[in-house]
Amino acid sequence: QKEVEQNSGPLSVPEGAIASLNCTYSDRGSQSFFWYRQYSGKSPELIMSIYSNGDKEDGRFTAQLNKASQYVSLLIRDSQPSDSATYLCAATMNRDDKIIFGKGTRLHILP
């Protein structure tokens, strides 16, 4: 069974520090990876997608992918209280395959 694993948290990070969120996946054939943010009572919204090994930066967010270790991470620099949310990691093999979501990591930014 294909799985995406995340630490449920909560992960508490001081405001202004770097928040590091981690995710592992079981299917070595996975090709596409996504990070979603979900505020309490809201639906998930896409933050980043990554398809190749290495780092991908978008503003304060950096996604890192290591296919050999089957590991994806999300770094949030200069963390803000508004970053407090649950972060969902997701993976899929190809466009015709279903997307598998992790259960999410709750992030709490301490003012």
Partner 1 sequence: KAGVTQTPRYLIKTRGQQVTLSCSPISGHRSVSWYQQTPGQGLQFLFEYFSETQRNKGNFPGRFSGRQFSNSRSEMNVSTLELGDSALYLCASSSPTRLGADTQYFGPGTRLTVL
The residues that touch partner 1, with contacts defined as CB under 8 A, are 31-32, 34, 42-46, 49, 51, 88, 92, 94-104
Q: How far apart are CA 90 and CA 24, in angstroms?
A: 10
Pick 34 or 76: Cβ nearer partner 1: 34
Smallest distance from the beta carbon of 46 to partner 1, in angstroms?
Answer: 6
Q: Which is nearer to partner 1, 20 or 32 (CB)?
A: 32
Which one, 19 or 91, has the nearer CB to partner 1? 91
